[in-house]
Amino acid sequence: MVKPEALVIIPARGGSKSIPRKNIRPLAGHPLIAFSIAAGLAARTVTRLIVSTDDELIAAISRNYGAETPFLRPAEYSQDETPDLPVFQHALRWLEQQEGYRPEVVVQLRPTSPFRRVAHIDGAVRLLLENPAADAVRTVCIPFQNPFKMWRIAADGFMQPVGVELGIPDEPYNQPRQSLPEVYWQTGYVDAARPSTILAKDSMTGERILPLVIDPSEWIDIDSPDDWRRAERLLESGELTYDSLGFKFGGLHA
């Protein structure tokens, strides 16, 4: 039986304002992007992994950790406000036009989530393959704060309950969490989609999205210096280990 083609694309732009050169800054002895590369290479469902970057140094470091960098991303797709969609459309079209390559599943692994578990990658790919009617799969978790208890501050200075806007008329902010609708937060750890969703529907998700629910404690994203220090502490203390994440550097199965 032929293994389905599952392509990991790691988007890694050279510019970063919150933490300069974030994608290649060392975290516990390895560049940040190396964690996503190692996890992707360790996933049993993944057949190919590339890094889409506009930066020669990021490309060289990525290749050193086992990723492919078949192209340098054009500057027009590497701006501060560039969304994911044109980046992924460019990569898929380049691979098809230059190599005749078109995968069955496309997986996005963001470098800012270094501690994703390999099982989540495999779970997302398998879930999409097992559900032909689905356009995409996203990892989600129960949020730390329920949006039905949130507020807006109006122009007159008084607060307006968001929960009422969401359809709960009777003081949702005073209700126990258990009585409010269950909601989920998208973690950004693993997104899996069909190429047709990205190319034909002009969307990273389409309309039919399946959840892969993970534990909130597994949601660790690096977007600030404080996040970086916390991530380092988790590894240094042994609270997180490479064995628990499921990968070793070099792309070998743990």
Per CATH, domain 6-142+185-245 is 3.40.50.1370: no
Q: Name the band, by pLDDT with cuts 50, 70 and 90, for residue 2.
A: confident
Mean per-residue pLDDT, 102-111: 97
Helix (H) or strand (E) holding 187: strand 185-193
**Beta-strand pair 6-11/105-108:** parallel
Q: Name the band, by pLDDT with cuts 50, 70 and 90, for residue 18.
A: low
Name the strands in the sheet holding 6-11, side by side, starting at the edge strand that comes first in the sequence. Answer: 48-52, 6-11, 105-108, 185-193, 136-141, 209-213
Q: Identify how many contiguous H helices and E strands the chain contains and give both numbers.
A: 8, 10
Mean per-residue pLDDT, 235-246: 92
CA of residue 53 relative to chain centroid, distance: 16
The model's pLDDT over 186-216, given as tens digits with 9 standing for 90+, comes to 999 999 999 999 999 999 999 999 999 999 8
The domain segmentation of the chain, as residue ranges, is: 6-142+185-245, 147-179
The model's pLDDT over 141-155, given as tens digits with 9 standing for 90+, comes to 998 888 999 999 999
User: Which amino acid belongs to residue 48?
Assistant: R
What's the confidence (pLDDT) of residue 17? 66
